[in-house]
Structure 1
Amino acid sequence: MQADFSRPVLAIDTSTSFLSLALRASGQTFAFHEDAGNRQSALILPQIGAMLAEAGITAADLGAVVYAQGPGAFTGLRIGAGVAQGLAAPFNLPLVGVPCLDAVACQISAPCVLAATDARMGEVFYAWFDTENHRRLSDYQVGQAADIVPPAGCAEPQGIGNAFALGDKPPFNGTAQMPAAANYLDLAAGGRYPATDAAHAGLLYVRNKIALTAKEQAERKGAP
């Protein structure tokens, strides 16, 4: 299955508390980006409908739907992927999943980039990239920020992502800037991410555990 970027394309990012949407149609980009918190599920379909109406098209006119694949907020990712599948299935539209850390990293161009985002529970999601040459230098990982080390030969690392706004941030220079849905759309249009049908669209998880137990929360509160 091939995505057709000569037609309108919709991008959906619900990997954080933000609801971020981008629709590119007839040379224009329509965007919505708002910190929706737990209102993502209530807002996403009305906002997509409003964007399609503003562009004068319907979902059947789309050449693809791009979605944030993860890692990220567990519930948010499922909302975004579910809506993407729901839009794609009736019209057999291609879906393109873009890993969230790739979208974070693409905001800067450098040979050694650490993309790191808040994974909660005292951990961060992270991966290393050479964004100048469109290469990922490590696996997608999760762990404590202090334990992150650069790959061999990675000089003068630059960091980006909301992990750099945390109290326990990665031990590198970085900015907390996060991407919007338009960044996902741009990456998908580059053709480096495969398209699939709605039935086979998946999410990228790097951690099975999504919450601390009550005992673990109590232990953390009591820690010095």
Structure 2
Amino acid sequence: MLRLLAIETAGEACSVALYQGGEVTERFEIAPRRHAALVLPWAEALMADAGIALSQLDAIAFGRGPGSFTGLRIAAGVTQGLAFGADVPVVPVSTLAALAYGAHVASGKANILAAVDARMKEVYWGAYRFDGRGNAELIGEECVCAPDLVPLPAGDDWYGAGSGWESYVDVLSGQCGLPEADNLSDWQSHAADVARLASVLYQAGEMVSPELASPVYLRNNVADKPKPKV
């Protein structure tokens, strides 16, 4: 039986989930700035409730972004520490894909336009299509851009999800040709959905060693250091 622990702290929500042979238990809370304090206690509590030890996990998954820079570093750092301790691989999962998956299940829509408010008048953007088994297909590439420049994939019956739709619903709806009501603007990425997608990736052999578990920021200047004053 496949056992995965999943962590998602890319946005305002903090969540941890335990996947066991298709069954998922999760702790989830909208908790800005409390991610670091919640993640480890929640992970320990989920495993204690299930009666399993860290060493019994097959892998640890995390939402690799894009999202909050601090949140992504927390998820990657905790995941690396736990994976090293358990001597198991890591499964990085796109936060946009996990958001789209949850919105797909909640809305029943097969084609999801995931948009997360990236600040700086931009959104993190990804278009995902789901088949009857819930497998996610990224259409094009994930990107960060202004809401009026998001790339719209071919086809119709698209549906929006994520905080970007709340912040820029008029612009995104106009750009995508969607009614302003055709979205789940309050939808957050969940660790439970990170775990479900990670189970597919794990079985496809798409794992990495813990030292290679790193966030995906999409913005090239995230690691830039301030220039010295002259």
TM value normalised by structure 2: 0.81
Contact 1:127–1:136 (CA<8 Å) still a contact in 2? yes
**1 CA distance for matches of 2:160 and 2:49?**
37
Contact 2:147–2:168 (CA<8 Å) still a contact in 1? no
Deviation at 1:24, TM superposition (A): 2.3
Q: How does 1:7-18 map to 2 (within 5 A)?
A: 7-18=2-13
Deviation at 1:28, TM superposition (A): 4.6
Q: CA RMSD in A?
A: 2.2
Out of 216, 223, 227, which is 1:204 matched to?
Answer: 216
**1 CA distance for matches of 2:16 and 2:152?**
32
Q: Report the AA paired with residue 88 of structure 1.
A: A
Hey, what does 1:138 align to over in structure 2? 140
Contact 1:115–1:161 (CA<8 Å) still a contact in 2? yes
Deviation at 1:210, TM superposition (A): 4.8
Deviation at 1:205, TM superposition (A): 1.9
Deviation at 1:53, TM superposition (A): 1.2
**2 CA distance for matches of 1:27 and 1:116?**
28
Deviates more, 1:186-195 or 1:55-64: 186-195
Deviation at 1:23, TM superposition (A): 0.9
Hey, what does 1:155 align to over in structure 2? 156
Out of 4, 13, 20, which is 2:15 matched to?
Answer: 20
**2 CA distance for matches of 1:57 and 1:149?**
44
**2 CA distance for matches of 1:31 and 1:53?**
13
Contact 1:25–1:55 (CA<8 Å) still a contact in 2? no
The number of aligned residues is 205
> Given the alignment of the two structures, is residue 190 of structure 1 paired with residue 207 of structure 2, yes or no?
no
Q: Any unmatched runs of 5+ in structure 2?
A: 224-230
Hey, what does 1:178 align to over in structure 2? 188
TM value normalised by structure 1: 0.83
Q: Report the AA paired with residue 179 of structure 1.
A: S
> Given the alignment of the two structures, is residue 31 of structure 1 paired with residue 26 of structure 2, yes or no?
yes
